[in-house]
């Protein structure tokens, strides 16, 4: 596994009571594979789901359950364990544990360790979808986030209780990746990064619109990667069904004109704008006030008018952020993308082939980065991974731009 950020790191894994506790056993293995030293502390309820012996065998270290265990305290006392930890990861984190952590309780070993440690605390919630959606849980999460606690997940899908929704524990490899990413170099620290993502919808009448297949995944992945790299991130999102990446400030819009207005406003203070959104080039000349009815058997003609070009308008500003455009092409990808770089006055363009299961809606993508110096291929990978590579390149370009400006 490539999570070198965890090599040699001392990770205290906290396991709380929930059916997802069985996944924590695999997590211990995966953390070990990534080079971390792992010690496990469980709540009494977690031990009802998985035995401490399982974690002891997998981690190679004694497992702690109670504040009041004299033998354990004689070996490595809880304060010593709190000092030992360089990272604390609670997975799964139950609704009850999150509530106790949010309110600073120290009524068992795990909450006490969290309170007594200077290590960063990360929680991976796992619970029934209704408990997750409950306002009390969400308020506790908001409080924890505001205090710098990292929140990994949860994922959505079918649950052990038979319900479907958000509240599934992330998979062990995703948790290891998320923890490793907290140690990524802060290449964008102090930078303001503006990102657009998703489609735009151009209303035809109260029930119909012109849209496109963009899911927002590429842009949201870039927002998450930019947060990881330490940036202050604003994400302007078209109509998509994706959770906001933790730490990003999200502005929801619907039409191209709304996106144009939101981006132009936020761009005033941005260092870089990454345009991953698939913006509708045209909109209906008029939006019908009522649902358009079929008339006889004939067809109908929709009069379209052009939308403003967000990137081109930003490029025309006297003080403009670094402009990174995307080019979604079905053929002659590089040639068309290079033409966009010139026509829109961009600093960098990320070209992707779309159609046939690529680009739009997919989890994976591949990008060709084109600027005035040349071309860089980023081979097929998950959008999350590509986003990290793109963010690193953007950070270099920002630095190069400033060094160039300083020399002039
Ligand atoms: O959202 P996903 O499902 O993850 O899919 C990702 C993606 C394929 C949508 C993404 O990778 C991508 O390629 N986004 C740009 C899609 C697009 O609209 O390309 P374009 O070639 O039509 O536009 C070129 C650039 O101009 C884009 O950066 C676009 O945001 C920008 N633009 C376009 C029109 C307009 N009126 N204003 C703009 O700023």
Domain map (residue ranges) of the chain: 10-181, 192-283+301-407
Q: What is the pTM of this model?
A: 0.78
| DSSP state letters, 54-85 | HHHHHHSSPPB--TT-HHHHHHS-HHHHHHH-
Residue 114: active-site member: no
Q: Phi and psi for 396 in degrees, rounded to 5?
A: -65, -45
Integer Cα distance of 316 and 290 in angstroms:
38
Mutate to test the pocket of ligand 1, among 197, 214, 261 (most ligand atoms within 8 A of CB): 214
Integer Cα distance of 45 and 28 in angstroms:
19
Topology alike, domains 10-181 and 192-283+301-407: yes
* Residue 313 CB–ligand 1 contact under 6 Å: no
**Please, which residues bridge with residue 284 across strands?**
304
Locate the ligand 1 atom nearest the alpha carbon of residue 344 and give its number. Answer: 26
Note the pLDDT of residue 407: 63
* Residue 194 CB–ligand 1 contact under 6 Å: no
Integer Cα distance of 187 and 271 in angstroms:
13
Contact between 236 and 195 under an 8 Å Cβ cutoff? The reply is: yes
Note the pLDDT of residue 403: 83
* Residue 273 CB–ligand 1 contact under 6 Å: no
Mutate to test the pocket of ligand 1, among 237, 240, 328 (most ligand atoms within 8 A of CB): 328
Coil, strand or helix at 354 = coil
With the CA atoms of 105, 108, 112 and 115 taken in that order, what torsion angle do they form, in degrees rounded to the nearest 10? -30
pLDDT in tens, the chain (408 residues): 444 589 999 999 999 999 999 999 999 999 999 999 999 999 999 999 999 999 999 999 999 999 888 888 888 888 999 999 999 999 999 999 999 999 999 999 999 999 999 999 999 999 999 999 999 999 999 999 989 899 999 988 888 888 888 899 999 999 999 999 888 889 999 999 999 999 999 999 999 999 999 999 999 999 999 999 999 999 999 999 998 887 899 999 999 999 999 999 999 999 999 999 999 999 999 999 999 998 877 888 999 999 999 999 999 999 999 999 999 999 999 999 999 999 999 999 999 998 877 789 889 999 999 999 899 999 999 999 999 999 999 999 999 988 876 666
* Residue 326 CB–ligand 1 contact under 6 Å: yes
Note the pLDDT of residue 159: 82
Integer Cα distance of 124 and 110 in angstroms:
14
* Residue 275 CB–ligand 1 contact under 6 Å: yes
Integer Cα distance of 63 and 71 in angstroms:
12
Residue whose structure tokens are 């358009």: 292
Tokens (6 digits) for 46: 């977690």
Integer Cα distance of 391 and 185 in angstroms:
11
- CATH number given to 192-283+301-407: 3.40.50.10300
Active-site entry in 161, 164, 316, 317: 161
For residue 354, the CA-to-ligand 1 centroid distance in Å is: 11
For domain 10-181, the CATH architecture is 3-Layer(aba) Sandwich (3.40)
């Amino acid at each position: 596994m490539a999570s070198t950020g965890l090599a040699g790191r001392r990770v205290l894994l906290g396991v709380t009571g929930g059916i997802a506790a069985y996944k924590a056993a695999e997590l211990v293995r995966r953390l070990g594979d990534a080079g971390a030293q792992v010690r496990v502390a469980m709540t009494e309820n977690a031990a009802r789901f998985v035995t401490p012996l399982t974690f002891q065998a997998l981690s190679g270290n004694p497992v702690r359950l109670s504040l009041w265990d004299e033998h354990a305290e004689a070996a490595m006392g809880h304060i010593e364990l709190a000092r030992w930890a360089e990272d604390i990861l609670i997975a799964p984190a139950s609704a009850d544990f999150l509530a106790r952590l949010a309110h600073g309780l120290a009524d068992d070993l795990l909450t006490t360790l969290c309170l007594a440690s200077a290590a960063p605390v990360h929680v991976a919630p796992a619970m029934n979808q209704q408990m997750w959606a409950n306002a009390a849980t969400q308020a506790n999460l908001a409080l924890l986030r505001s205090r710098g606690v990292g929140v990994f997940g949860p994922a959505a899908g079918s649950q052990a209780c038979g319900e479907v929704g958000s509240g599934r524990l992330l998979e062990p490899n995703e948790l290891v990746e998320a923890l490793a990413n907290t140690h990524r170099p802060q290449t964008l620290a102090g930078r303001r990064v503006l990102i657009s993502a998703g489609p735009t919808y151009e209303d035809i009448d109260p029930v119909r619109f012109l849209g496109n297949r963009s899911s927002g995944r590429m842009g949201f992945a870039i927002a998450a990667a930019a947060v990881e790299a330490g940036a202050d991130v604003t994400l302007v999102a078209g109509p998509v069904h994706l959770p906001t990446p933790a730490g990003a400030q999200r502005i929801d819009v619907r039409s191209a004109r709304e996106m144009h207005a939101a981006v132009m406003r936020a761009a005033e203070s941005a260092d870089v704008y990454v345009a991953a959104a698939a913006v509708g080039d045209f909109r209906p000349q008029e939006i019908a006030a009522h649902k358009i009815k079929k008339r006889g058997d004939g067809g109908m003609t929709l009069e379209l008018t052009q939308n403003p070009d967000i990137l081109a308008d930003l490029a025309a500003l006297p003080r403009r952020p670094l402009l990174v455009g995307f080019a979604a092409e079905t053929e002659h990808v590089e040639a068309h993308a290079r033409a966009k770089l010139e026509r829109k006055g961009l600093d960098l363009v990320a070209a992707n082939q779309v159609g046939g299961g690529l680009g739009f809606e997919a989890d994976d993508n591949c990008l060709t980065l084109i600027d005035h110096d040349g071309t860089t291929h980023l081979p097929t990978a998950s959008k999350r991974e590509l986003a990290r590579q793109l963010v690193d390149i953007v950070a270099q370009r920002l630095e190069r731009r400033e060094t160039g400006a300083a020399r002039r």
